[in-house]
Amino acid sequence: MRFFLSIVAILFFCATTYAQKVEILQSTPVFKQVPFEACHASTLVDLGNGKIMAAWFGGKHEGSQDVVIWSAIKNGTNWSQPVEIANGIQNDTSRFACWNPVLFKAKNGTLFLHYKVGINPRTWWAEYKTSVNNGKSWSKAKKLPDDFLGPVKNKPIQLADGNILYPSSTESEDEKTWHIHIEKSDADGQNWRKIEINCDTFGVIQPSILIHPQGKLQLLCRSRQNVIVESWSVDYGETWSKLKPTQLPNPNSGSDAVTLKDGLQLLVYNPLTAGKNWWEGRSVLKLAISADGENWKDIYTLENHLKGEYSYPAIIQDQKGNIHISYTAERKKISYMEIRLVHSP
């Protein structure tokens, strides 16, 4: 009987996961002409009514003082001209680079822009802005409470009770220690607290959160160990299992994942291993699917090159069910794709 049930489970997994075909609805750069030399770390959010907002950081180069947060909105098939929505100016004599924007729209309609400010990821701090009109105007920048960073690269999730979980991580100033953790706020982005995770011996940052039935959550993390690393929670994110490796290779590069409305999981990631230089291994970018968060199947190749950097993806699903993906292309542009999954018999 147990063997029969296992076969049924495997057949169900294959039928719901592997028989998915990717239909490309749109593929385009987010912008063509811009006043910055380099860009990186895009984020996406569904504004409703067919509008998608993207944000990223751009300037002379990563970490330079002129790096600010830029944004553009897609209405239909066209992207608006990018505009600056946040910068690292602290006062008349102090300015720092901006890093890693994360867009998130809460259930109450408030649009959040989280981002980092500082010299580097070891010493940066968290700032955020809010908008009540889908990004037409933004509040003044505010800092998160001390010792909180908010979402470091990937989007938060909002639980049924309204509380928000933020996938976060820290890098020690000596660069030896990378740790992930979860931060939690109420529905208004207030009353923050931290939830620690046993990282074992892994060096991990930039988790993404997947949602499973009955209060089960999963983290997928970038690591220094040439593999995507995971942790699980069975109590809506209050406690987490000790980290363990998945079967997914990764060259110490950011990934992103999303839980679809039908319960399937999608992951965008670089499937190679690291090379001698930090950018090596980022020349191939793939989309994978899973029904259980454990068994993954690559179903589409977004980029496939012998060299180059195609990295730091963002992925969301809109209200209609279409999927939107953005990622860095050679630090010169943000590539964008809208797709639909079609069940192929």
Q: Is 276 helix (H, G, I), strand (E, B) or coil?
A: coil
Tell me the C-alpha distance between 188 and 76, whole Å: 30
pLDDT at 20: 85
Q: Phi then psi for 14, rounded to 5 degrees?
A: -65, -40
pLDDT at 1: 44
pLDDT digits (tens, 9 = 90+) for 35-94: 999 999 999 999 999 999 999 999 999 999 999 999 999 999 999 999 999 999 999 899
pLDDT at 12: 42
Is the predicted pLDDT of residue 319 greater than 70, yes or no?
yes
Q: Phi then psi for 4, rounded to 5 degrees?
A: -60, -45
pLDDT at 260: 98
Tell me the C-alpha distance between 104 and 155, whole Å: 6
The percent of residues above 90 in pLDDT, for the chain, comes to 91
Q: Name, in order, each residue with C-beta under 8 angstroms of 164's C-beta and a sequence gap of 6 or more.
A: 104, 106, 156, 157, 158, 184, 185, 186, 187, 189
Q: Taking residues 262-289, what's their average pLDDT?
A: 96
Q: Taking residues 311-323, what's their average pLDDT?
A: 97
Q: Is 14 helix (H, G, I), strand (E, B) or coil?
A: helix
Tokens of residue 66, six digits: 């002129």
pLDDT at 8: 37
Is the predicted pLDDT of residue 272 greater than 70, yes or no?
yes
pLDDT at 18: 55
Q: Taking residues 108-116, what's their average pLDDT?
A: 97
Count of other CB atoms within 10 angstroms of residue 305: 12
- Which of 278, 323, 321, 326 has its CA nearest to residue 302? 326
What is the distance in angstroms between the CA of the first residue and the CA of the last residue of the chain? 28
Domain annotation for the chain: domains and CATH numbers: 21-343 (2.120.10.10)
Beta bridge partners, 333, equal 329
Q: Phi then psi for 318, rounded to 5 degrees?
A: -90, 180
Q: Taking residues 227-234, what's their average pLDDT?
A: 98
DSSP 137-185: S-PPPEEPPTT----SSS--EE-TTS-EEEEEEEE-TTS--EEEEEEEE
Is this model's pTM higher than 0.75 or not?
yes
Q: Which long-range contacts (CB under 8 A, 24 or more apart) does 160-166 make?
A: 162/107, 162/186, 162/187, 163/187, 164/104, 164/106, 164/189, 165/209, 165/217, 165/237, 166/114
Contact (Cβ atoms closer than 8 angstroms) between residue 275 and residue 284? no
Is the predicted pLDDT of residue 11 greater than 80, yes or no?
no
- Which of 333, 343, 344 has its CA nearest to residue 27? 333
- List the alpha helices (DSSP H) in the chain: 2-13
Gyration radius (Cα) of the chain, Å: 19
Of the pLDDT bands very low, low, confident and very high (cuts 50, 70, 90), residue 14 is very low
pLDDT at 3: 41
Kind and range of the H or E run holding 27 = strand 20-29
